[in-house]
Structure 1
Amino acid sequence: MNAPATLAPDIQRYADLDKRLLGACKSIRILSSVAWPATLENRMIEEFARGQFSLPQVYYHAPDFSEVRAELAAIEAEAGHDDPLGEYLCRTAESWRIAAEMLEAVGTHDVTLRSISLYGRPGDAIPGSDRSNLDAARYFVELSDELGSDLLSDDVTNDIPADVLRADLTQSLDDFFGAGTISVEVDDELTAKAAAGATRIRLRGGTTFSGYDKHQLLAHEAFVHSLTALNGREQPVLASLARTSPRVTATQEGLAVFAELMSGAIDISRLKRISLRILAIDMALNGADFVEVYKFFKGCGQSTGDSFHSAQRVFRGVPPDGGAAFAKDNVYLSGLLTVHTFFRWAFKQQRMDMLRQLFAGKLALHDVISLQPHFESGVIAQPRWLPPWMQHAHGLAGKLAFSLFINRIHMGRVQAESLSLSL
């Protein structure tokens, strides 16, 4: 959406800074800069399957972002903190500047601290709790292992080819967003199983998917990542809300996993996978090398290919010999827990409007709160699209109300005998 023909001078100044911000960060492509060649992955997976283990040799191109960093620093200084719009721009520019520094160090241990600055570390505390992200990861892995023998009979098979899933997703997206709004493509070079932008979702070629994968891709990729990007494009002033800046990654990924939870598109195995990645990051930070992390995933029941790809995510952009890690996968579980807490808080405060506004673009939780005056004035537009589960306010309210009350029950005080006597 284009900005109105005339804006108040103070708002126009922030709109101009936002335009400069988008221009400055357009060349910063984090995941593609740390990606591994598919040919290397395929060759090494075959070798690992034969028991031939070696550390990957990945060569990266380190860019020169000195001019970009200077422009981002200038935007930070000019934006200031006098207005929530300025604070948003300042925080966003800073995160892109740190990302630029990280990519300039690609292939070295210096990537580690900058990625932790952007995405956090496994030992970080969960807001409102005395537990850490690492504690939560261990809990979900242990719970999954305890339940595993009872879940083996679940009918979950990976038998949907990428091309078939592409056609199926295309129909669903056309029905929801309108024909041709979002395209679905098969990409043989993609490392992740899927990736989403505003108008395109990519699926990894040469692999098959399950019915759970299909529902998870719709809930996670389409109805959060693509949806918030499209809503961001509708913004009249802050066009940068259409792009995921590093500082909003935790909220956006947490919101996407929360969407899986609310729409019934997540299972305990999925929670185990994202939790194992956090444990693996912690292992790498404490000295484990690529082969040791691969064997950790393999020992946890993943296939050779999945174990390799899981380890590869931990070592993107850093040396594979231990003591370094790319920390992005830390955000999935920490983001989920924080977003879940935010939803409960907003419901308790009777602020369902804030929950809807979370989908107005690529926002952090902090932004939804601080930008309230501009949501009320219309400078920040309300979201055009909402996920299906957000469109049914009564159903969402029921889940949140139940969650608020049930968390008052302390499981440590519950005995089987008291349950049986109460029925």
Structure 2
Amino acid sequence: MTAAFSETELEKLKQAAAILAEAEKRLPVLRTLSWDRSLADAFFKNGEKEPPSPQYPVIDPAPSRELVAKARALISGASEVHEWLRRFADTTEETAALLSALGKPDFHSCSLALYGGPTSAVADGKTTALDLARRLDALLREFDAPADRMEPPEQLSASALKKRLDEALPKYFGAAAPRIDITLNVSAKAAAGRDYIKLREDAFFSDLDEQQLLQHEALVHIATGLNGDAQPHFPILGEAYPGNAMTQEGLAVFAEFISGALDPRRFKRLADRVIAIHMSAEGADFIQLYQFFRERSEKDAPFEAFESARRVVRGGLVNGGGPFTKDSIYLQGLLEVHNYLRTAVRTGDAAYIRLLFAGKIDLDDLAAMKFLRDAGLLAEPRYLPPWATDLRWLLSYLSYSTFLNGIDLKSVAARYESLFRD
């Protein structure tokens, strides 16, 4: 199908999308898997010896499954858009299965179906996410000492960072700027939602943390959500769900990288999480994961190691054998987004970059987005990060990285070994 839809078919697809959005909203994965701050407090009070015992709310998957069946009945045609909505329906059913298996052995297999895992093949069909993580970990380990010396000090309180972000965000979002909340009841140092960023009250931040939150959370996650919500025909594009998580997280990490906000310690942490997920799948329990993260980054506070271990076992088995595998998608997403952008800039058409920001999409959805754009059914994204608005900047960066990939840097570096020996 290459022509635009009939009005009748378009209305059916819009109705199906609205039903799928309703079904997905009943299945909030990350909010359901979250832990209360009291679990961390109890863990440290008991001398870091007893694993936490999280309790999760009960999610009834039946209403979502009924809605998906209703939506499927409306998606009977054959086009890239029909295929996109069918994938959305498939993922919503898999998400319902995941939330039906909280704290059970089946949770791990459901997580693998949604996100893949450390041993899942990446784009080339050969390399795995675990291969990428180990390779990156070995590479960054060579720079541990200089990275520690160059690490910016974490001297910004949550209130000081809030003030900075409150000043910066309106420059990009105007009146739609996300609000900044300070709270104790958030596991990570910071977390973001549709229209807010939360900062943990007792955490301290560096200038680089400020840029990471701006580039990753605000100018990708929140921006794509706002752009998707504003779509006149398919506001379902504003929904974050497991089906677009890999591309969204890959795009967000790429935004950190190209803007200079991705420091070595954070990059290494992304690799460590993949390794830890594999450890958990092989039987490592929460205490072993916590100790792993403590050893990997002695500069981090114990609470950050707790948070990293929590991310691995949330929703699954605390005592090993059933991790949540979402964090294995970051490196793969980064690789695939990088390769897409490298190909897209060759066209010289910035529209292929803007397409990534039309809403929260997966790279597999791009054909559907192009179809909708060519049919006049997709609005241009309003909110874009600076690096995505000037192809010259992006082209220079991608050309530079491709150029360096063809050079044996070890042989080049060997020329200067005697200079730096002391």
| Global fold match (TM > 0.5) | yes
Structure 1: state its 5+ residue gaps: 1-5
One of 321, 324, 327 as aligned partner of 1:323? 321
Residues 77 and 7 (structure 1 numbering): CA distance in 2 closer, same or farther, change over 3 Å? closer
Task: Give 1:312 shift.
Answer: 0.6
Q: 1:294: which partner in 2?
A: 290
Q: CA RMSD in A?
A: 2.2
**8 Å Cα contact 1:30-1:103 kept in structure 2:** yes
Q: Report the 3-state secondary structure (helix = DSSP H, G, I; strand = E; otherwise coil) of the residue aligned with 1:201.
A: strand
Return the letter of the residue paired with 1:306: E
The 10-residue stretch of structure 1 (263-272 or 145-154) with the greater mean CA deviation from structure 2: 145-154
Q: 2:351: which partner in 1?
A: 353
Q: Report the 3-state secondary structure (helix = DSSP H, G, I; strand = E; otherwise coil) of the residue aligned with 2:199.
A: strand
Distance 1:410 1:153 in 2: 26
Q: 1:33: which partner in 2?
A: 32
**8 Å Cα contact 1:248-1:362 kept in structure 2:** yes
Distance 1:129 1:106 in 2: 30
Distance 1:343 1:404 in 2: 12
Q: 2:232: which partner in 1?
A: 236
Alignment of 1:383-394 (within 5 A): 383-394=381-392
Identical residues among aligned pairs (%): 35
**8 Å Cα contact 2:37-2:187 kept in structure 1:** yes
Residues 286 and 244 (structure 1 numbering): CA distance in 2 closer, same or farther, change over 3 Å? same
Q: 2:245: which partner in 1?
A: 249
Alignment of 1:274-313 (within 5 A): 274-301=270-297, 302-313=300-311
Q: Report the 3-state secondary structure (helix = DSSP H, G, I; strand = E; otherwise coil) of the residue aligned with 2:154.
A: coil
Q: 2:405: which partner in 1?
A: 407
**8 Å Cα contact 1:80-1:90 kept in structure 2:** no
Distance 2:369 2:174 in 1: 30
Q: Report the 3-state secondary structure (helix = DSSP H, G, I; strand = E; otherwise coil) of the residue aligned with 1:107.
A: coil
Alignment of 1:16-415 (within 5 A): 16-47=15-46, 51-80=47-76, 82-128=78-124, 130-179=126-175, 181-301=177-297, 302-409=300-407
Distance 1:179 1:280 in 2: 41
Task: Give 1:322 shift.
Answer: 0.9
Residues 129 and 105 (structure 1 numbering): CA distance in 2 closer, same or farther, change over 3 Å? closer
Task: Give 1:411 shift.
Answer: 5.2
Distance 1:155 1:195 in 2: 22
Deviations 1:300-346, CA, capped at 9 Å, x for gaps: 12431111111011010112111110111111111111111111122
Deviations 1:17-39, CA, capped at 9 Å, x for gaps: 11111222222111111111111
The 10-residue stretch of structure 1 (125-134 or 107-116) with the greater mean CA deviation from structure 2: 125-134
Task: Give 1:129 shift.
Answer: 6.4
Count of residues in Structure 1 that have an aligned counterpart in Structure 2: 412
Residues 295 and 272 (structure 1 numbering): CA distance in 2 closer, same or farther, change over 3 Å? same
Return the letter of the residue paired with 1:17: A
- TM-score scaled by structure 2? 0.92
Q: Report the 3-state secondary structure (helix = DSSP H, G, I; strand = E; otherwise coil) of the residue aligned with 1:195.
A: strand
- TM-score scaled by structure 1? 0.92
Deviations 1:219-259, CA, capped at 9 Å, x for gaps: 00000001001111111111110111210000000100000
Structure 2: state its 5+ residue gaps: none
Distance 1:46 1:273 in 2: 26
Distance 1:142 1:268 in 2: 12
The 10-residue stretch of structure 1 (389-398 or 340-349) with the greater mean CA deviation from structure 2: 340-349
